[in-house]
């Protein structure tokens, strides 16, 4: 798994790419905790370029959602496609988590206009 972070004010977009496996979850939790400690309580996980994810990724989404709710923050999943979208639908997490179906990054002029 690779990631790129775009930050503005109290929000961060984490663009994930490649495959997300159980061995990536500790890193993702650490990255999330770091941004929350810096006051970034609005987190968007851009999933457009994630090609595979196992069930540990789903567990991370749920724990990240709860973690951010505890600090009055919000988690949004954006651009979920293929296996990732299918897993969210099969597990009904698409009814619990906030999803943005279209690619959020394509709608941001200059790549910076996001949750303030």
Domain of residue 70 covers 2-111
pTM of the prediction? 0.83
The encoded tokens of residue 66 equal 């709860």
Report the number of distinct structural domains present in the chain. 1
Task: Report the distance separating Cα 48 and Cα 39, nearest Å.
Answer: 25
Collect all residues with Cβ–Cβ distance below 8 Å to 106 and sequence separation of at least 6. Answer: none
Angle at 92 between CA 43 and CA 67, to 5 degrees: 30
Span 11-55, pLDDT tens digits: 999 999 999 999 999 999 999 999 999 999 999 999 999 999 999
Closest CA to 41 of 15, 20, 65, 17: 65
The reply to whether 116 falls in a domain is no
Tell me, what CATH number does 52's domain have?
3.30.750.24
Is there a domain that residue 7 lies in?
yes
Give yes or no for residue 74 having a pLDDT over 80. Answer: yes
Task: Give the whole-angstrom CA distance, residue 71 versus residue 92.
Answer: 24
């Amino acid at each position: 798994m690779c990631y790129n972070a775009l930050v503005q004010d109290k929000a961060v977009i984490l663009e994930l790419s490649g495959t997300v496996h159980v061995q990536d979850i500790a890193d993702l939790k650490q990255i999330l905790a770091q941004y929350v400690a810096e006051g970034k309580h609005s987190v968007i996980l851009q999933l457009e370029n994630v090609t595979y994810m196992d069930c540990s990724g789903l567990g991370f989404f749920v724990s990240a959602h709860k973690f951010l709710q505890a600090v009055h923050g919000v988690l949004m999943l954006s651009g979920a496609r293929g296996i990732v979208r299918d897993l969210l639908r099969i597990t009904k997490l698409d009814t619990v988590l906030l999803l943005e179906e279209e690619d959020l990054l394509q709608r941001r002029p200059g790549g910076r206009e996001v949750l303030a």
